[in-house]
Structure formats: structure tokens, C-alpha cells
Structure 1
Amino acid sequence: MWETLDVYFLLCLAVSTNGLYKQWIPDTNYENKTNWDKGVVPCGRDKAVFPAQRKVSVYVETVHSVQEMRLPVDGEFFLHSGAGFYVGGGPEPGCGAGVTTQFRDSESLKWFDPGLWQAADTLDDLERGRLLFAVHEESVPCQYDNVIFNARSSFRVDTTSATRTIPVKSVSVFGETYDSKTEFSQYLGSRSGQLQFHGSSVVTIRKAGCDDVSGCDCGNSVNHDVICNHVKCSPLTCRKPLRPMGHCCDVCGALVTIRYTTGFNLQTYRQRLQNLFLIQSAYNSVQLGMSKVFRSKRLMGIVPFGASAEIQIVILDRETGPQSGTVAEKLAQELLEDALSHDSDLGITEVELEASSGSSSDNGLGVDAGVVVGAVFGVLIMGGLVSLVAVLVHKGIVQMPKIAMPSMPSMPSMPSMPSMPSMPSFSRFRNKSDNGDLGGPLDHGFENPIFDKPTMFPTVPSLYGTEVDNSISMTQSGVHYVNPVYDENETDI
């Protein structure tokens, strides 16, 4: 329905300090023949019909003659100076015998349809048709962009989305720019605002611009599915189609991913690409879009642990068939070599290239962030395990191995058995019963009267005679050898 411009030299900076200018393409102007079902503007012998139950806002630029006009129940006409209508004029060249023509339904025009917007770096570029290329998410106004509705046109747009609000930097309607949230909210509440904007989401003004020299995120990823519902993808012929972040379709061309340090300036790098490469005649057919994106990071490719900021450069060309994407890949290779040669000057740490021909390269100019994060996580996990074991040992849940000390010399007729080191055990969960696994009493081995408790000392005469009984004394505090030289009856001095 809406004609698009063929643009051969394109460059997109998703978010600059002042934001881009994105203009709504369709309109509801009376003089636009695409707004009428017969494809022509009604003339003096025609009947112009506006559906009764449809809300409409119509801009009229000149004077028109009609045979009859049927108006809607709820609508408005904006008449330019000198514009108007009259009935029953004389014959008009090319008017014909007269037909009934109906104004098209404008309810289906959606804010998040990327095909209904065009972008430029400045207002002058917008007027001159120097338009920009961007992935689908960034074709729709981003949170730092200036929204333009043509000063001499009317419109009706459905703002329904996945969020309650649609933040933008400013909105211009009928030549008046609203950069205050309060003022624009008042306009939305007016009769004209209600006819022009409808839907479940509200367009709001956020005056803050992007203050990051490396660029800012567009913010439309939350509405990715809503945007892609309006996009129809074309069949491709390249060997390995690519899917840029923020785009709804696979493409033939090349992707360059840049990882950077604090010294990287997106605006400066953009100008470098334009002055060194895009001015070359060999790349007149190239479409290039550059923006900041956030890619999810995963530990060992599985566990997500945040996102890393990257600069994504999407490069397409107008080639078809087997040659599709070849010019774009050539330019991408030159950008890669340039980044590797001037990495320290540009603040670039790593560059990755992917091409639809199947070739790719990953040139790291520093330690990969994923490797660093993986190592840090490994150290933290090991430290956590050590701390856990220490706590369990401290609480007595786990007992560490104990090495038995050599036993005291035993009697000649009672050789001691070698001690074995004990194994770790979970004392809290140990079965305290004396019964064995088979249900019977546990065998504690032979009794050693020297080391048994006093209560278990035998009441029968000593096995070794009185000599042994007289030389060993059993008390509550332990076992003592009696020194015959010492006389216990002596009084201490």
C-alpha cells in the first residue's frame, strides 16, 4: 500500500546523543489516492463516503468538488488555508460518469510495524530523502528518538504493544514539537489526540538523551514479537543465512561484532567507516546498520549470568542469486582488518566476523570475558565447597579422618593390634544402635582389662597374679603404674 524508497547508501547509528528522527510514513490525507478504495481522489460527479462507525482524522489541502459526501459519526477535518468542499461543480477533466468511492480503513495501521517508518540522522536528511537502514527493532522509534508526523498531514495509529507505555524523546504533530511529558499528555487527551492515537499503550515523552559515547540500547526488544508479527520474510539464496540481533528475518550478507573498552566512541567510529569505506564506489549498493546490543552470556554455554554490551554492524548488499552478500562480505573483511590494525586507537578489544557464505573469524585482542567469568565462577564454587565442608566439620556433622597414635606397650602375652586410620563419617546420621546390619549384637572384640572402664574391671583374681595387681592402680582419672619406692603413707613436707 505504501511506496518505499530505494536507498543505496545507508548507514544507521541506532542511538546518537540527540537521537534519530523517525517519521511516520502513512497518512489520512484527503488528496492521497491510496486512501480511497478506487485508487483515485473523488471528483465533482463522485460520491465520497466515510464509513459511519469509523473514527477518522482527515487533512484537506485544497478545494474539492463532490456530488455527495457521507460523513462518519466520529471524525474531524483539518482544512489547510483556502481548502474546502462544494457540491455540483462543472465538468472536470478525467472525472468520468461518477462513482461511489469509500475512504479506506486506517484502523490497521500499527505503531510497531517497521515498514511504516523511515529514519534519518537529521531533519535535513529526512527532507532530502537520505534515509537510514536498521534492523526491524530499531526501525520503529526507540526510546531516545524524535518522532515526526508530517506537518501537513493527518494520521491514525494503533499503539497497542506488550508494554503500557512507549517512551520516546519527542513527538512532532502538525509542525508543533512536544518534548514535555505533561504537554504531550494534554494533547493526547484532546479530541484530535484521541482520534490520531489509539490502542492499549500510551506514547510518553522522556527528555533524557543518550549520554553514553559508546551508544545506548534501543529498548524495543521487549516488543520483538509484536514487531515481527508485521514482517514478512523473503526467501534467500545464500549458503548460510544470518540472523542479526533485533531483526525478524534471516539475511544474506555479513555481521561484524565489536567488543570494546571505555575508550570506544560510536559516533567517531561511525564517521570513520563513512569516510574510509562507504564513500568508495564499490560499496554504493551496500546497506549498513550499526548499533549497540546486549548479548546474553552463559557459563559453559548453559547457565545465563548476565549480558555483555557489543557493537553490531549489519552489512547487506543488493546482489542477487549466488552473488548475494558477496559485496557485503568484502566490506566486512576490510572493517575487520582495519579494526585489528588500529585496535588501541579505537578502543576495540575483539572483533568477530560472520558471513552468509559460511566463512567466519574471531580475532580476540584480549582475554575473552567469558573465560574470565568462567574462571571466577570456578574459584567461587571451590571456595564455597571448602566453606561448606568447614561448617559441617565445625558442627560435627562430618568427622575428618583421624590417625591413631601408637598404643602403649602391652603385656608380653597380649600383643597389641595395629591401629587403622578412621574414615570420615556423618556422626549426626550414624546409627547409634549396637545392633549390626544382620540384627544381632555387635562384636566388640576381646576385652583388655588395662584399658577398659573401671566398671568393667574383672572381680575375679587377676589373671597374672598379685604382682600385676599390686603394680597397677585403677582410678576414675585413668590407669597409673605404682612406684614401689614411693610410700603413699608418707606425709608431704
Structure 2
Amino acid sequence: LLSLLGILQLLAATVAVYKQWIPNTNFETASNWDKGRVPCARDVVHFEKDKVVSVFVGSPHALTDMYLPLNGEFLLAAGAAFTAFDGSWDPGCDTGGTVRFADAEQRSWFDPTLWRDVLPSGELRPGGPIFSVHEERVPCRHDDVIFQPETSFRVNTDSAQPVIHLRSISVMGQELNTPSSWAGYLGGPSAPLQFHGNGTLQVTGTGCPDKSGCACGNALDGPRICAALLRAPGRQCPEPACQSPLQPLGHCCGVCGATINLEFTPHFDLQKYQDKLVQELLSQPKYAGVQMAMSKVHRAQTFLGTVSRGATPLIQIVLIDDRAGAQAGSAAEQLAADIMQDIAQHGEALGISSGKMEVATGSTASGQVGSHPASRITAGSVMGLLFSLLFLGGILFLYRKGKLRLPALRPQHPWERMEDPEPPAPASDKGFDNPVFSVEPPDVDLAEVASKDLQVFYLNPLYNASETET
């Protein structure tokens, strides 16, 4: 029994989400006409001749006239038909006019407002504390897509990726969950009228095989999703009450509250952990109005903030609340703190190796708290090691290229001695030469002269005594 329960839990973790396309191109849908009403008997119905349409008709209609497109189809339900108006009285149609079919070309597959989560039966999934970031409101690669029975549609599948993978697609009440069945439908007459664009839909028939969850797969089309979300008038991100709103991965708008990024082990079970948080924490009265989104994401790794080094899988938890003003995000912050405390106590048993929390509320700026700081190497040490490796690698590269020569170091043996250099010979003190005074002193005994004439004199080489005698 326990093993069966474990298998059921594993299956529950890997069951795909059902997403239903909301708009249609039915003849009886009032919003599909420029007058905002379904054509009546006195009206002239006009389809643009150069527009491709697929229109489901669920009931009979009498019309004054109808202009058809060059390329399109009308899917008639049992009993549905078009007849010419015979001029009899038609209640609610006293005056007629020209009614034009609205353009459905711009309805994008990646517009999150055109999808809703439903149960496998097609009924709307009940609301609760769980929500999805914007990228995951569009069908993910392991989701089931439902187009409502007895409806027609036209979807623009332009995408940044050539192939859009899905688990299954249901059209006209028929589920297509194998590659061959979907290929057969694409070869029929309706598919080219219902799907157009450069993205090709592909059915795989497989759900997420990993109990830790699977990334949605819409990251490449994230800009397209946000553009579609905010394109229409009145669709704008709400002004956050916090100073530094958080920007969760996959979400188009900044939020007040908290985010938690979890690093996990192979034992982590996403669905089981989400159920635990809902039952033990989110169900508490103090957390009324708090919503949570949890999914696997891939956060890009960078080197020095610029060069991508691949992506690391993480479990992202986004917490928001309905508080306003200075209290905005405060309940979500408290819930995040409780989750971090629970991780510190039971993280290893849950398959969580570490967690990092970031908060932004109406009264505080954003900040981060790590759950396992002791197990992490500081950023400074890592950067120092990287710079050292780069420096040594640069020296080795220059040496091998011949751009750098290293001195040859040879150890000196004890018996090898360097000869002492000979001391320089002492220089003789020759004084300096005076070119002016070059006369040899007279050969005279100065002592004798001094004693004889009692005169003291000195020799002046510029003065010749013989020239003064007359």
C-alpha cells in the first residue's frame, strides 16, 4: 500500500497542467462582430475577402445578404444553416445594416490573458493561494492544451523558437496526444485555417519525467509574452508600493513581497513540497491574502557580470500579498522567514541543500538572507582565485608563444666559487694642469737672496723684469 501511495504521489507531481484557449471565432459570439451583436435577418454580413477565417455556426440564421472570404471554412453544427431573409417580421431586428466580422489575426499564442487553467474536464480550476508567473500562464512544454468543443478559433503562433512542444492538444472534443495523431490533424483542411505563424506546434505525448519539476520552456518568448500582456490599452503593470520591487524570473511586472531561490538534491519533490507549504503555512489565518508561485527555473550564470556561463536549475518561490501602503509585502515577508526557518531545520530531509531569500516591502528596501552561509565560499575568495588563475594562465600562454623568456635558474654548488675581481690600482695624485703657469721656477737659492737683499718677492709669469729696465 505504501509503495502504491508513493507511485501515486510521483504521478501527481508529473501530471501536466490543462490550459484552455479563451477566445473563439464562433458566428454566435457577439464580440466577434464590429457592431457588438450577432447579425440578424435584415443585416448584410461582410467577411473580408483577403482574411482567412474558420467559423463555427451553431444554429440556423436568416440573412439579407452575406459576402464570403476567398479562403476559409464554416463548421456547421447539427441543424445549423444559412437562409435568405423572406421579409417577414423579425423581433429585435427592426433596422438592418452591414455587420463585419472582426479580425482575429492578432490573437497571439503567447498572450497570457487569452489562456486559463482548467480541470481535465474543461471546468475552470478553483481559485486558491497558488498563482503562476506570466511565462507559465501560457502553455508550457509538458502541458495539455484544450480548445473548447464546438468552437472555432484562429491563433498566431509566431515564436522565438521554431518548435513549440506540448503534451497534448484537444480540438473539437478530440484529444490528440501522440505525434502521429497530431501530424494527421495538421494534414487536414482545418489546421492551416486555425494556426498560422512561424512557430510549429508539436505534440510529444510525454509529461514532465522529473519529480523535482521541469522548466516551463517559454523563456525565449518572455519578451513576446510581456509585450502581448501590456500591448492593449489599460493593461499596465500595477504601481508597486515598495521602493525596490522584486523581479521574479518569468514575471513581467515588479512585485512587493518575497522570493526564495532553492538549490535542491535529486531527492527533492516539487509537488510534495508545495503541498506541504500550503497545508502547514499558507492555510494559517495570519497568511490570508498571501499567494505563492513555485516552479523550476534556470538562472543564467555570468562571469564578471557579462559573459554567460550557462544556467543553473533552481526552485523559485514567489510570495505576494494583498496588503497596501507601508504594509505591502509584509505578510509575504513573514511567510518567507517561516519557510527559511523550516528549511534550516528540515531542508536536508526535504532534498533542499540551500536557500536564498530576497524581500521588498512598503516600509523596507530589498535585502537578501542566505540559509546556509557556512557552506558557501565568499565572493572575494572566489574572485581572488579566478584572478590568480588568469594571471598564471596568461604567463604560461606568453611563454609558450615565445613572447616571454624566463631566466634560467641554476643552483650554485658549494665547490663553485666566483673569483674575486682584482682591486683597482690606486690613482696617482697628479693634481691638475694650469696652462697659464708653465714657467719653470728660477734656479735661485731663495734663502740666500732673502738674506742678502732682505726682500720678499714672488714670481709673476706674466711680468718680465728685463722689459722694464731701461
TM over 0.5: yes
Equivalent residue for 2:448?
A: none
Amino acid at match of 1:167: H
1:118 offset after TM fit, Å? 1.4
CA contact 1:60–1:78 (8 Å) conserved in 2: yes
> Is 1:287 aligned with 2:284?
no
CA contact 2:25–2:54 (8 Å) conserved in 1: yes
> CA RMSD for the aligned pairs?
3.5
Which runs of 5 or more structure 1 residues have no equivalent in the other structure? 1-14, 419-444, 446-493
Give the secondary-structure state (helix, strand or coil) at the position aligned to 2:258: strand
Equivalent residue for 1:249?
A: 253
1:175 offset after TM fit, Å? 0.8
Equivalent residue for 1:36?
A: 33
> Is 1:74 aligned with 2:77?
no
1:111 offset after TM fit, Å? 0.9
Amino acid at match of 1:130: P
1:177 offset after TM fit, Å? 1.1
CA contact 2:27–2:55 (8 Å) conserved in 1: yes
Which residues of 2 match residues 401-412 of structure 1 at below 5 A? 401-405=409-413
Aligned match of 2:101 in 97, 100, 103? 103
CA change 1:183–1:240 in 2 (3 A) is same
1:359 offset after TM fit, Å? 4.4
Equivalent residue for 1:356?
A: 360
1:372 offset after TM fit, Å? 12
Larger radius of gyration, structure 1 or 2? 2
Give the secondary-structure state (helix, strand or coil) at the position aligned to 1:26: coil
Equivalent residue for 2:221?
A: 223
Structure 2 Cα separation of the partners of residues 259 and 397 of structure 1? 47
CA change 1:234–1:390 in 2 (3 A) is closer
Equivalent residue for 1:119?
A: 117
CA change 1:323–1:94 in 2 (3 A) is farther
Give the secondary-structure state (helix, strand or coil) at the position aligned to 1:342: helix
Q: What CA deviation, in whole Å up to 9, does each residue of 1:348-393 have, x standing for no partner?
A: 222222222224342333623786994997599389659949986x
1:149 offset after TM fit, Å? 0.7
> Is 1:239 aligned with 2:239?
no
Give the secondary-structure state (helix, strand or coil) at the position aligned to 2:185: helix
Structure 2 Cα separation of the partners of residues 172 and 136 of structure 1? 23
Give the secondary-structure state (helix, strand or coil) at the position aligned to 1:108: coil
> Is 1:63 aligned with 2:70?
no
Between the aligned residues of both structures, percent identity stands at 38
Structure 2 Cα separation of the partners of residues 324 and 95 of structure 1? 52
1:408 offset after TM fit, Å? 6.7
Q: What CA deviation, in whole Å up to 9, does each residue of 1:173-197 have, x standing for no partner?
A: 1111112223212312321011001
Aligned match of 1:264 in 259, 263, 268? 268
> Is 1:155 aligned with 2:158?
no
Amino acid at match of 1:32: T
Equivalent residue for 1:368?
A: 376
Amino acid at match of 2:123: E
Structure 1 Cα separation of the partners of residues 125 and 413 of structure 2? 92
Q: What CA deviation, in whole Å up to 9, does each residue of 1:155-188 have, x standing for no partner?
A: 0001111122111111111111112223212312
Which runs of 5 or more structure 2 residues have no equivalent in the other structure? 1-11, 231-235, 425-470
Give the secondary-structure state (helix, strand or coil) at the position aligned to 2:224: helix
CA change 1:400–1:157 in 2 (3 A) is same
Equivalent residue for 1:189?
A: 187
Number of residue-to-residue matches in the alignment: 400
Equivalent residue for 1:434?
A: none
CA contact 1:299–1:370 (8 Å) conserved in 2: no
Aligned match of 1:200 in 180, 198, 201? 198
CA change 1:353–1:198 in 2 (3 A) is same
Structure 2 Cα separation of the partners of residues 265 and 384 of structure 1? 43
Aligned match of 1:130 in 126, 129, 147? 126
**Which moved further from structure 2: 155-164 or 93-102?**
93-102
1:26 offset after TM fit, Å? 0.8
CA change 1:417–1:374 in 2 (3 A) is same
Give the secondary-structure state (helix, strand or coil) at the position aligned to 1:22: strand
Q: What CA deviation, in whole Å up to 9, does each residue of 1:47-101 have, x standing for no partner?
A: 2222121111111222333332222121111122222233326434433422321
CA change 1:99–1:286 in 2 (3 A) is farther
Q: What CA deviation, in whole Å up to 9, does each residue of 1:428-483 have, x standing for no partner?
A: xxxxxxxxxxxxxxxxx9xxxxxxxxxxxxxxxxxxxxxxxxxxxxxxxxxxxxxx
Q: What CA deviation, in whole Å up to 9, does each residue of 1:106-161 have, x standing for no partner?
A: 001111112211124x414x504426632222111111111111112110001111
Structure 2 Cα separation of the partners of residues 387 and 252 of structure 1? 49
CA contact 2:257–2:332 (8 Å) conserved in 1: yes
> Is 1:46 aligned with 2:53?
no
> Is 1:84 aligned with 2:81?
yes
Structure 1 Cα separation of the partners of residues 199 and 276 of structure 2? 39
Structure 2 Cα separation of the partners of residues 364 and 401 of structure 1? 51
Structure 1 Cα separation of the partners of residues 375 and 341 of structure 2? 19
Amino acid at match of 1:157: V
Equivalent residue for 2:431?
A: none
1:311 offset after TM fit, Å? 0.7
Structure 1 Cα separation of the partners of residues 284 and 43 of structure 2? 53
In the superposition, the TM-score normalised over structure 2's length comes to 0.75
> Is 1:308 aligned with 2:312?
yes
Q: What CA deviation, in whole Å up to 9, does each residue of 1:265-296 have, x standing for no partner?
A: 10100111221233345545333211101112
CA change 1:54–1:302 in 2 (3 A) is closer
Equivalent residue for 2:451?
A: none
